[in-house]
Amino acid sequence: MRRRSMSAIVLAFSWLPLIAEANCPAPGEWWQAQHVVPNSAILAQAANQRVVLLGEQHDAVEHHRWQLHILAGLHALRDDMSIGLEMLPRSAQPALDDWVAGRLTEEEFLEQTRWDETWGFDPELYLPIFHFARVQQLPLVALNISPALRQRLVSEGFANVPAEQRHNIPAPQPPSDAYEKRLKEAFDQHDMGDAPEMLNRFTQAQLSWDIAMAKGLADASENGTLTVGLMGLGHVIYHDGVAHQLSGLGIEHTFSLLPWELIGCETPDPDVADAVFILNPLTEENKVNNGLGSFGTF
């Protein structure tokens, strides 16, 4: 798993500020601005956006089930919808198109996307979403870039990589101070060698990842299509990752939603997302053990 050692260092929820509430939300409820809000109200808000971001812990079964439910609810309100995927680089787009068109079996789809090499998490976590897209004929959009291109952008800089070789992805916006601080905290938890140089490379790699996905979402939603991006929690929390880069591209109508496992009566900081959905605490049965441990948030 060394291929993920730089770009897949993640931020876990352990450092998120928690707020003890007198009235706790219950599993199955939405929590927004420190209040329980009806499901219909959250979906109506999301359906009026240009881009919706759904965070996930990659190995959490319940997170992917939640994403599927949100996709179905949004599609009931918006016929014009597409689904953007962090999981696959742009080179996988022909396979995604063929899958939605019904020209591939599951086995052929996983082979042509090079799923095990590209993503590595159990495909069974994602196949229900892929089948939903095929049944409903919703476009699936590959948002990511290859590790080789990401490394090249970090090493050479965006300006020195021809636009056609970087999928016309622009240079990223500088990170907010808070995002940069959280990235450093994540970096400091791991032995990454020469700290100043490696920290800068890690930060730039993360920003390259964020802007690549933001540009893919912007392009997919250009004609007014509601585009829903599925990605790790670290790209969504506090609107600092992909939402920040979307804003730099001139796209302000974004909406960030997260799943949240309530423990006791501690709710997340209200600024962590536009709304969070309360789930029962994760159990080991609801996780897929892929050897990555906490490397599942970005």
Q: Tally the domains of the chain.
A: 1
Range of the domain at 156: 26-281
In a domain, 111, yes or no: yes
Q: Indicate whether 43 pLDDT > 60.
A: yes
Query: Lowest mean pLDDT: which of 1-15, 99-113, 141-155, 240-254?
Result: 1-15
- Taking the C-alpha atoms of residue 152 and residue 165, their distance in angstroms, rounded to an integer, is 10
In a domain, 149, yes or no: yes
Q: Is 86 helix (H, G, I), strand (E, B) or coil?
A: strand
In a domain, 11, yes or no: no
In a domain, 5, yes or no: no
In a domain, 34, yes or no: yes
Give the residue with greater pLDDT, 273 vs 194.
Answer: 273
What are the φ/ψ torsions at residue 147 (nearest 5 degrees)?
Answer: -55, -35
What are the φ/ψ torsions at residue 52 (nearest 5 degrees)?
Answer: -120, 135
Count helices and strands in the chain by DSSP H and E runs: 10, 10
Measure the CA angle with vertex 51, ends 49 and 53; round to 5°: 115
Query: Lowest mean pLDDT: which of 18-27, 132-141, 198-207?
Result: 18-27
Q: Indicate whether 290 pLDDT > 90.
A: no
Contact (CB, 8 A) for 194 and 258: no
In a domain, 18, yes or no: no
Q: Which helix (H) or strand (E) holds 156?
A: helix 147-156
Measure the CA angle with vertex 291, ends 287 and 297; round to 5°: 60
Q: Which residues contact 66 (CB under 8 A, 6 or more apart)?
A: 54, 259, 277, 279
Q: Which residues contact 244 (CB under 8 A, 6 or more apart)?
A: 173, 175, 176, 179, 210
- Taking the C-alpha atoms of residue 77 and residue 44, their distance in angstroms, rounded to an integer, is 8
What are the φ/ψ torsions at residue 171 (nearest 5 degrees)?
Answer: -65, 145
In a domain, 15, yes or no: no
- Taking the C-alpha atoms of residue 258 and residue 237, their distance in angstroms, rounded to an integer, is 8
**191: DSSP letter:** -
Question: Residue 266 has what pLDDT?
Answer: 82
Q: Is 262 helix (H, G, I), strand (E, B) or coil?
A: coil
In a domain, 187, yes or no: yes
Residue 224, by phi and psi: left (phi above 0), alpha (psi -120 to 50) or beta?
A: left
Give the residue with greater pLDDT, 288 vs 159.
Answer: 159
Q: For the whole model, what pTM was predicted?
A: 0.88
Per-residue pLDDT tens over the stretch 216-261: 999 999 999 999 999 999 999 999 999 999 999 999 899 999 999 9
Mean pLDDT on 40-65: 97
Mean pLDDT on 282-290: 53
Burial of 247 (0-12, 13-18, 19+ CB in 10 A): middle
Q: Tell me, what CATH number does 164's domain have?
A: 3.40.50.11550
